[in-house]
Chains A and B, each alone.
Chain A
């Protein structure tokens, strides 16, 4: 890049980008959604030129997570603009803002590093609304001279937003649609798949295939069924929602145990049925509670209350259930049944 006063001003490093999403980009997004190489979906922080921006072109801030950056540049396709990519260590805007990496300090530092004052003639930086959790507009202005404009929550609303620079109520609201919840399932599965397989293999070797099936059922109920059904399960607490889903699943196993071994004594059939009712629901409830971090609306104090209220109950239920399994198994062995 040639600069008129080139001898004095250091060359400004501006990378170029486009609004096109290539096949390689799509593959990268797919892998990110699967949770493969979770922290590896990043691009270099710095200033990017989209199209052929001039001194008066708008500047947008983004995270250096490929899904964030690509959503922004594709939404801005056909618009000449600069994109200021912050170093959020490959984390999306909202999570990074919560951690403080998409924050006041990083914005001020990045503005200086890329010499934004020399690149554009205006002093306006458009920041995604969800970045506000980590960014103080007043402080950025005081320290860098740049006035922040909080754009819409979703990059896809930007073309509409840019017409008036006013976001509608709808653009300012975060959502958590069925599709939003479904795309999270592979990442949740990614964490639990191996433990689930190990547990079910052990259970089918030392216990029964039914026990292995019960383990797979509770885990899938917690990480697949629960996110899908979330808004439709009665009660507000995630744990109680999980208890409901897990309880319904356990019921079918309990019925199967109760009516499946009619030759056994009533107390033995009831005992085995009870083991399912005690061990299965708390597992689903715990997995459901762990989904709070993936949602867009749970408060800190609420989640804290849930942990204190339900986690001890889950542990007790599960513990008593396991003891009952052991006692019944010992009786079975000793009785030669």
Chain B
């Protein structure tokens, strides 16, 4: 049976790893194991492309096309002709920030 989640965009270059342990701290799916000399990709298929590891890797050893894995957000973006899909929960609050900004009092 066809499996859409069989592969993803996560790329890791162990030559750049300084074993700071950050990737395994931020990953919610245990994709990395940092108990060895350098981080190991132990469960790459579990990656959901959230981008936390890429953002927090100090040597840029990790690359991933991150974003929100949400079908309704993507379909809505396509319908509206937007290139980037933003989180579906944003569809209702996209217009709201302005209202909040006006009413917000900050020192």
CA A302 to CA B56, docked complex, whole Å: 23
For chain B, which range describes its interface: under 10, 10 to 19, 20 to 34, or 35 or more residues?
Answer: 35 or more
A136, A290, A298, A306: the one within 8 Å of B55 (CB):
A136
Contact A292 B70 (CB under 8 A): yes
B20-57: which residues lie under 8 A (CB-CB) from chain A? 22, 24-30, 46-52, 55-56
Give A291's nearest chain B residue, CB to CB: B71
Contact B71 A132 (CB under 8 A): no
B67-107: which residues lie under 8 A (CB-CB) from chain A? 67-75, 86-90, 92-93, 96-97, 100, 104, 106-107
Contact A130 B73 (CB under 8 A): no
Contact B49 A129 (CB under 8 A): no
Contact B4 A305 (CB under 8 A): yes
A130, A167, A303: the one within 8 Å of B4 (CB):
A303
Known: A99-B87, A300-B66. A138 touches B1 (CB 8 A): no
Count, A-B residue pairs, CB within 8 A: 148
CA A130 to CA B56, docked complex, whole Å: 12
CA A95 to CA B70, docked complex, whole Å: 11
Interface size (A, Cβ < 8 Å)?
Answer: 54
Which residue, of B2, B22, B50, has the highest number of chain A Cβ atoms within 10 A? B50
The 8 A CB mask of B4-20 against A (1 = contact, 0 = none) is 11011100000000000
| Residues from chain A with Cβ under 8 Å of B68 in the complex | 98, 293, 300
A91, A133, A293: the one within 8 Å of B71 (CB):
A293
Contact B71 A289 (CB under 8 A): yes
CA A240 to CA B3, docked complex, whole Å: 10
Contact A172 B27 (CB under 8 A): yes
Instruction: Give B contacts to A, CB under 8 Å.
Output: 1-5, 7-9, 22, 24-30, 46-52, 55-56, 58, 65-75, 86-90, 92-93, 96-97, 100, 104, 106-107
Apart from A91-B93, A301-B65: 11 A-B pairs, beta carbons within 8 A: A89-B96, A95-B87, A113-B107, A133-B50, A236-B1, A237-B2, A295-B69, A299-B8, A300-B66, A302-B69, A307-B71
Sample (25) of A-B pairs whose CB atoms are under 8 Å apart: A38-B93, A95-B87, A97-B52, A98-B67, A99-B86, A99-B87, A136-B56, A153-B28, A167-B25, A172-B24, A173-B28, A236-B3, A237-B1, A237-B3, A237-B4, A293-B69, A295-B69, A296-B48, A298-B5, A299-B48, A300-B69, A301-B65, A303-B70, A306-B4, A307-B71
